Amino acid sequence: MFDRLKRSFVLVGASAEVLRQDNRLLLFPIISAVSLMLVLAAFALPLFGLGSIDGFKKGGLYSAAFLFYVVQYFVIFYFNTALVGAVMLRLDGGSPTLGDGLRIANGRIGAILGYAVISATLGVILRAIQERAGFIGRFIAGLIGAGWTVATFLVVPVIATSERGALDAISESSALLKRTWGENLAGQAGLNAAFGLLYFILIAGAVLLALFFATTAAAPLLALLVAVVAVLAFLACMLMHATLSGIYAAVLYRYAVGGSDAPGFDRDALASAFPQKS
């Protein structure tokens, strides 16, 4: 367990080095986050009015949820594809721009939309299972969701680097996962654990500072300042987390399809963290 954790942090550190060499990669999750907020606002505002209509409640919520999922997933997958495409160019020794990544994503619009529709369909089905089957439904939906996440871990890199459609990309992602590292996702878990710890430290630090400043005369102003700094730091960490996840997925895909080296990554660490199955 200690060795896996150590290798995970090696991979996280190597991903951070790629990001350090080209911090413009942060632009993709930033634009994605802004776009997602606009999508949320575009759906939330009309629903406040429509939610009071009984007919809409009966038959329209699932349709609205499906449409929302499609648009949301499309935005996420579009900018993730752009990010991974830019990372691939960077790993090949290039110096990609925002436009380079967006051009790659624009060339994969059909596959991205197809993947968004498939993911949205599954999302609505899982939501229906959760709502109608109680605790057992939530448990089953959780298992299916976890399995889907694992099986589609490399879908975006497949889409970004090939002309495959959505179904073929899902199939290829599952095959690569099964052939190269299977269920052994120590590196991804390590990345999530590292940022999970960072999020916890930020929240705990903000709470402690707020309690400390509560005894001072300028408590309201200082509490507001702490809250603003904490929120900004939390958002910055989320953006870094999203960017590093894209870099990580891109490098693992390169390794999975050909075992080629990637700048900044320890080949032995990759091989030991994700061993080839016999």
Q: What confidence score (pLDDT) does residue 273 get?
A: 47
Q: What confidence score (pLDDT) does residue 65 get?
A: 79
Q: From the CB of residue 220, how many other CB atoms can be counted at a distance below 10 Å? A: 11
pLDDT digits (tens, 9 = 90+) for 219-251: 777 777 888 888 889 888 899 889 988 888 887
State which residues form the domain around 186.
2-273
Q: Does 82 reside within a domain?
A: yes
Q: Is there a contact between 4 and 190 (Cβ–Cβ < 8 Å)?
A: yes
**Residue 277 DSSP SS3:** coil
Closest CA to 68 of 26, 95, 98, 38: 38
Six token digits for residue 244: 């590093």
pLDDT digits (tens, 9 = 90+) for 169-216: 999 998 887 765 544 466 667 777 778 888 899 888 888 887 777 777
pLDDT digits (tens, 9 = 90+) for 254-264: 877 875 555 55
Place of tokens 């599954």: 122
Q: Does 144 reside within a domain?
A: yes
pTM, two decimal places: 0.82
pLDDT at residue 53 tops 90: no
Q: Does 278 reside within a domain?
A: no
Place of tokens 């660490």: 269
The DSSP call for residue 25 is G
- Counting the structural domains of the chain, the total is 1
Question: How much is the average pLDDT of 31-42?
Answer: 92
Q: Does 174 reside within a domain?
A: yes
Confidence category of residue 115, pLDDT binned at 50, 70, 90: very high
Confidence category of residue 27, pLDDT binned at 50, 70, 90: very high
Q: What confidence score (pLDDT) does residue 31 get?
A: 95
Cα–Cα distance measured from residue 152 to residue 115, given in angstroms and rounded to the nearest whole number: 10
Cα–Cα distance measured from residue 176 to residue 182, given in angstroms and rounded to the nearest whole number: 8
